[in-house]
Amino acid sequence: MTSPREKLPSVKKKSGEEDDGPLAEPKEKFVPRNWSTFKKHEKELNKLGPMAKSRYMAYEEPSKDILAVREKTLKRLKDLKKDYEMNHPPVPEEVIIEKDKHAKLIGQLKAAEARNRLRIMRLRYSANRAQEINHLISCQPTAIKAVRLQALVPSSAERKDKGDRLDKLQRHRIESLLEDSRGLLTNRLA
């Protein structure tokens, strides 16, 4: 009985061969193909479904007709690319810079227009809201309900800065009204 080691061919290197190791680059380009032991005959290929047949044929060598057509196509594409490069010279760098500046300017203008549209929409919304609230206030059955609604739902949004909005004359008038303890300025006696 022979052992399996005797059947295997020897792995010894021939003289002059170099050991490149596992990280060495391959000597030839890898081409995926089906193993010859699993070759299918024409009848077996016809029995396969379209998906299985396409998977199998993906690793088969294409026929000579297909190779010739592929070469013609590649040649035609290379010729078209060469013609295009000859007829359309490269654009100078100054032109590219000018186009970039122009595109940036157009972008800034579009952004400004968008901001303006948003501002107008906000103003229109606040004006419509104020108009609706004023209409609701005017439609109240009694004056007390109208004042109460006006106090609870202001028609316009309050400003954030609540600074002094009175001029000197108005301030003097208010101070004189507040200092009038007898009510001489506000009483209307005939």
Question: How many angstroms from the chain centroid is the CA of residue 164?
Answer: 48
Helix (H) / strand (E) element for 82: namely helix 64-87
**36-40, 46-50, 92-96: segment of lowest average pLDDT:** 36-40
Asked if residue 102 lies in contact with residue 94, where contact means CB atoms within 8 angstroms, the answer is no
- Kindly report the backbone phi and psi dihedral angles of residue 166, in degrees, each rounded to the nearest multiple of 5, phi listed first: -95, 140
The residues, ordered by sequence, that sit 6+ positions from 60 with a Cβ below 8 Å of its Cβ are 33, 34
Residue 54 has pLDDT above 60, yes or no: yes
Q: What is the CA radius of gyration of the chain?
A: 46
Q: Residue written as tokens 């006696």?
A: 189
Mean per-residue pLDDT for 84-91?
Answer: 90
Domains of the chain: which residue ranges? 33-89, 93-155
H/E stretch holding 97 = helix 93-138
Which pLDDT tens digit goes with each residue over 123-161? 999 999 999 999 999 999 888 888 888 888 887 776 666
pTM above threshold 0.85 = no
Q: Which own/partner contact pairs does 21-28 have at CB distance under 8 Å and 24+ positions apart? A: none
**What is the C-alpha separation between 41 and 53, in angstroms, rounded?**
12
Q: Which of 21-25, 32-36, 168-172, 177-181 is modeled with the greatest confidence?
A: 168-172
From 178, 129, 119, select the one nearest 153 (Cα to Cα): 129
DSSP state of 142: S
* DSSP type of residue 163: -
